[in-house]
Chains A and B, each alone.
Chain A
Amino acid sequence: MDLSQIYTQLIMEHNKNTQNKRALDDPTIVEHGHNPSCGDDITLNLIEKNGVIVDASFTGSGCAISQASTSIMIDLIKGKSTEDALELAELFIKMIKKEIEDDNELEKLEDAVAFENISNMPARVKCAVLPWHTLEEALKK
Chain B
Amino acid sequence: MNLIDPKIINDFPILERKINGNRLVYLDNAATTQKPRNVIDAISDYYNNHNANPHRGAYTLSVEATSLYDSAKETVKKFINANSKDEIIFTKNCTESLNLLAFSLSGFFEEGDEILLCVSEHHSNILPWMRLSKDKNLKLNYLYVNDEGIIPEKEYEKINNKTKLVSIAQMSNVLGTIFPVKKISQIAHEKGAIVVIDAAQSIPHKKVDVKDIDADFMVFSAHKMLGPMGIGVLYGKKHLLDDMPPFLLGGDMIEYVYEDHATYAEIPFKLEAGTQNVEGAFGLEAAIHYLEKIGLQNIENHEKILTEYAMQEMLKIPYINIYGPMDLEKHGGIISFNVKDVHPHDVSTVLDSYGISSRAGHHCCQPLMRYMGINASVRISFYLYNSLEDIDVFIESIKNVRKWLGYGS
On A, residues with C-beta under 8 Å from B are 1, 3, 6-7, 9, 12-13, 15-16, 37-41, 61-65, 67, 121, 123-124, 127
Contacts and interface: CB of A to CB of B under 8 A. Distances in A.
23 contacts: A1-B352, A1-B353, A3-B349, A7-B346, A7-B405, A9-B406, A12-B406, A38-B345, A38-B376, A39-B362, A39-B376, A41-B375, A62-B343, A63-B344, A64-B342, A64-B343, A64-B346, A64-B405, A65-B345, A65-B346, A67-B343, A124-B349, A127-B345
Contacts, number: 51
B347 to A, nearest CB: 9
B346 A63 contact: yes
A38 B360 contact: yes
Give the most central of B342, B360, B376: most A CB within 10 Å: B376
Judged by DSSP, the binding face of B is mixed
B349 A15 contact: no
A15 B406 contact: yes
Contacts of A16: 406
A3 B350 contact: yes
A62 B405 CA distance: 14
A61 to B, nearest CB: 5
A117 to B, nearest CB: 13
A126 to B, nearest CB: 10
B20 interface: yes
Contacts of B405: 7, 12, 15, 64
Contact residues on B (Cβ < 8 Å of other chain), bracket: 10 to 19
Given A39-B376, A63-B343, A63-B345, 12 more contacts: A3-B353, A7-B350, A7-B406, A9-B406, A13-B406, A16-B406, A38-B345, A40-B345, A62-B343, A62-B345, A64-B405, A67-B343
Interface in B332-376: 342-346, 349-350, 352-353, 360-362, 375-376
Interface of B: 20, 342-346, 349-350, 352-353, 360-362, 375-376, 404-406
Given A38-B376, A39-B376, A61-B375, A1 B406 contact: no
Contacts of A124: 345, 349
A123 B406 contact: no
A63 B344 CA distance: 7
A7 B404 contact: yes
A38 B361 contact: yes
Contacts of A37: 361
A123 B342 CA distance: 17
A62 to B, nearest CB: 6
Contact of A123 (B343, B349, B376, B404): B349
A121 B349 contact: yes
B373 to A, nearest CB: 12
Closest 5 CB pairs of A and B: A12-B406, A63-B343, A63-B345, A39-B376, A39-B375
A67 B375 CA distance: 14
A81 B352 CA distance: 41
A76 B353 CA distance: 31
Contacts of B362: 39
A102 B344 CA distance: 36
Contacts of B342: 64
B104 to A, nearest CB: 29
A123 B349 CA distance: 9
B364 to A, nearest CB: 10
Give the most central of B342, B362, B405: most A CB within 10 Å: B405
Nearest to B374: A39
Nearest to B21: A1
Contacts of A62: 343, 345
Given A1-B353, A64-B346, A39 B404 contact: no
A6 B406 CA distance: 12
Nearest to A13: B406
A37 B363 CA distance: 9
Contacts of A3: 349-350, 353, 404
Contacts of B375: 39, 41, 61
Contacts of A6: 349
A62 B376 CA distance: 9
Nearest to B352: A1
B361 A39 contact: yes
B113 to A, nearest CB: 31
Nearest to B400: A3
Contacts of A63: 343-346
Give the most central of B346, B352, B375: most A CB within 10 Å: B346
A121 to B, nearest CB: 7
